[in-house]
Amino acid sequence: MNNWRYCRPTRKRKPRQEDMDLMRQFLERTGIKVVSEEEAEEADVVVCNTSDMWTPFRDNVSTVCAECGKGIYHRPHAPRKPRKICLNCAAEMSEREARERNSKN
């Protein structure tokens, strides 16, 4: 049986360059853009984990998905204005938008 308590790093370290490169590649492939806190407040939605997903953080904010009402959580420093939605609703929204774009072409 895994004991998750021991997965936390004991000290903070500067991210390695290869880690930063991987993150940059991931963001480019998914189209996710890193923005300032002010810009993040203007987003349409914040995508959140569902309450049944494991988290190492005890100070998460629990709420419900603005689309389906399922339990979700987010970090306390997440943007406050945008609607909070679960991963499933975000995936459905993304697929719907992709279909709409493809039907216009």
* pLDDT tens sequence across 62-84: 999 999 999 999 999 999 999 99
Of 16 and 44, the one with more pLDDT:
44
Residue 8: per-residue pLDDT: 42
Structure confidence at residue 26 as a pLDDT band (50, 70, 90)? low
Residue 13: per-residue pLDDT: 56
* Domain locations along the chain: 14-104
Q: Indicate the average pLDDT of the chain.
A: 81
Contacts of 66 (CB under 8 A, 6+ apart): 45, 83, 84, 85
- Percent of the chain at pLDDT exceeding 90: 33
Residue 83: per-residue pLDDT: 95
Mean pLDDT, residues 19-32 taken together: 71
Cα–Cα distance between 85 and 35 in angstroms, integer? Answer: 19
